[in-house]
Amino acid sequence: MPQTDFLVIGSGIAGLTFALKVANRLPNSKITIITKADESESNTKYAQGGIAVAQKTRFDSPKHHIADTLKAGDGLCKKEIVEIVVKEGIPRLKEIIKWGARFDKKSSGQFDLGMEGGHSAKRILHHKDITGLELERKLLQQIHRKKNISILPYCYAIDLITEHHKKQKSSEEINCFGAYILNKSTNKIEKYLARITLLATGGAGQVYRNTTNPLIATGDGIAMACRAGAIISNMEFIQFHPSALYNPGESPSFLISEAVRGFGAYLLTKEKRRFMFDFDKRGELASRDIVARAIDYEMKKSGDECAYLDCRHLDVKEFKKHFPNIYNKCKTLGINIKNDLIPVVPAAHYLCGGIKTNSQGKTSINRLYACGECADTGLHGANRLASNSLLEALVFAHRCFLDAIKSYSKFKLETKIPEWNQKGTTRPKENILITHSRTELQIIMSDYVGLVRSNSRLRLAKKRIKMLEEETIHLYKRSILSPQLCELRNLITLGKIMIEHSIKRNENKGVFYKI
């Protein structure tokens, strides 16, 4: 029976950072990272713009970064968490550089800081336009050097193990004893017992049809935590990125980084009208919620399918140097940024809410931590400031680590947990039902729970999702489980929570807008 001291679910920046820190501090402990796809597959891998860290200089300071984060969050950030993340981000950045991460520098040797929407100063450290890939690679390199870390790809966490699964239930409080894991190479469901479990399962962009998030972003950790009884909060705050490349048929959508607007690109309508100053005096560099809604407004008014990014006035050589990935992607589609406009549309990008945690990353369930995009720490409030997500993951992975190592040895591995029971289930004859239902959910969410919502549309969505839920639960109960079926069940759970929280909220804040 697999047993471990620390079970880490997810191999993005949050999970890997936590695992590495524990392994360094406790060389005799056992850390197991399970991850449902290839070990590098994650939202982290696709992060482009970079990581926001404000050092005290002539041009910037942590004080300004705090003010910008609070402003973007529209009054709903927890101020003490914002201060923690901004201030502790500075030592965390030094650590990740020590682990090998490289950030672009100017010829003077200083960091070549980028600008993004909602920031009052240039403070984004980046590795060209593939910052996430650089971080993911360097973290994995470090992980592979650690003898006390096992990383298990293609292992899918189905559910957390709590008192609910115990043969004898002894108390009212909820503890997490590990998780049931479906090993895709053996097709067996195993119970992984752990002293401490960390959920680092990332976001849920796949709830929507148009998203920048890869296929793995199905909100599994949040759905598992919800089933186990954890508090889930702020799920109405879904951030749409203003500028996903409009390329019908391509899914997930390729991102045209906000840093491109920070570099000087304009937003235009099809008639080549620059419109952002009609909405905000910061123009293209207003925060994401404002830019995304402005594009949505212009598209609805004109009936156009997209807006356009104009880079024609920019220095192509410099552009290519900063954004080689974006430049090449455009080129493969026949878009020459010197002469052509880049078609863009808003797409679901980031989940501001999630599993509620305290300032140490502890959830409302004992022995269970959450960090990264699946957690709601209170940093983002109603809207995440660009490039604050990688930063939050680093800071909270560290805080979870500090708290977890204090208590882990007092927790025993729980032995009275039954094996997963598959009795009476059969393998579905075809999987097309699952694929259809996933698409249907994505369409409902995109059409009725998008950038601009209304109570009547939300109620309609609730009704339709209820039908999908009933069908899926029926299928779930009689089927031998597959990751696809579990993901569908989780996506439906998340859609339901997003709708419920949206119906409850009666004040427009940040990314949340209801008419």
Residue 53, contacted partner among ligand SIN, ligand FAD, none, CB below 5-8 A by kind: none
Q: Give the residue with the Cβ less far from ligand FAD, 54 or 461.
A: 54
Binding to ligand SIN by residue 326, rule CB under 6 A?
A: no
Between 259 and 278, how does the x/- string for binding to ligand SIN read (CB under 6 A)? Answer: x-------------------
The residue with its CB nearest to ligand SIN is 49
Binding to ligand SIN by residue 48, rule CB under 6 A?
A: yes
Question: Least distance to ligand FAD from the beta carbon of 168, Å?
Answer: 28
Spatial separation of the C-alpha atoms in residues 362 and 62, rounded to whole Å: 26
From the list 261, 288, 367, 453, the catalytic residue is 288
End-to-end CA distance of the chain: 53
Q: Give the residue with the Cβ less far from ligand FAD, 398 or 457.
A: 398
Spatial separation of the C-alpha atoms in residues 162 and 325, rounded to whole Å: 44
Q: Please list the residues that pair with 484 across neighbouring strands.
A: none
Between 337 and 376, how does the x/- string for binding to ligand SIN read (CB under 6 A)? Answer: -------------x--------------------------
Spatial separation of the C-alpha atoms in residues 197 and 384, rounded to whole Å: 26
* Token code pair at residue 49: 């713009």
424 Ramachandran zone, left/alpha/beta (phi>0; psi -120 to 50): left
Question: Least distance to ligand FAD from the beta carbon of 139, Å?
Answer: 10
Neighbours of 436 (CB within 10 A): 12
Window 204-233: residues binding ligand SIN (CB under 6 A): none
Binding to ligand SIN by residue 132, rule CB under 6 A?
A: no
Q: Give the residue with the Cβ less far from ligand SIN, 121 or 152.
A: 121
The single-letter code of the amino acid at 190 is: E
Between 376 and 405, how does the x/- string for binding to ligand SIN read (CB under 6 A)? Answer: ----------xx-x----------------
Half-sphere exposure of 164 (CA within 13 A, CB side): 17
Decide: 100 and 26 in contact? Cβ < 8 Å. no
Residue 12, contacted partner among ligand FAD, ligand SIN, none, CB below 5-8 A by kind: ligand FAD
Decide: 327 and 190 in contact? Cβ < 8 Å. no
Question: Least distance to ligand SIN from the beta carbon of 163, Å?
Answer: 38
Decide: 397 and 360 in contact? Cβ < 8 Å. no
Binding ligand SIN by CB under 6 A: which of 11, 233, 257, 472? 257
Residue 41, contacted partner among ligand FAD, ligand SIN, none, CB below 5-8 A by kind: ligand FAD
Spatial separation of the C-alpha atoms in residues 17 and 398, rounded to whole Å: 7
Spatial separation of the C-alpha atoms in residues 175 and 196, rounded to whole Å: 10
- Packed helices 13-25 and 131-144: angle between N→C axes, nearest 10 degrees: 30
Question: Least distance to ligand FAD from the beta carbon of 278, Å?
Answer: 27
Main-chain dihedrals φ then ψ at residue 483, nearest 5 degrees: -55, -35
Spatial separation of the C-alpha atoms in residues 318 and 144, rounded to whole Å: 36
Q: Catalytic residue at 464?
A: no
- Strands annotated E in 99-173: 124-125, 149-152, 155-161
Residue 35, contacted partner among ligand FAD, ligand SIN, none, CB below 5-8 A by kind: ligand FAD
Q: Which residues bind ligand FAD (CB under 6 A)?
A: 9-15, 34-37, 41-44, 46-51, 131-132, 156-157, 200-203, 212-213, 216, 220-221, 255, 350, 372-373, 387-390, 393
* Residues within the interface to ligand SIN (CB under 6 A): 48-49, 257-259, 350, 386-387, 389
Active site members = 288
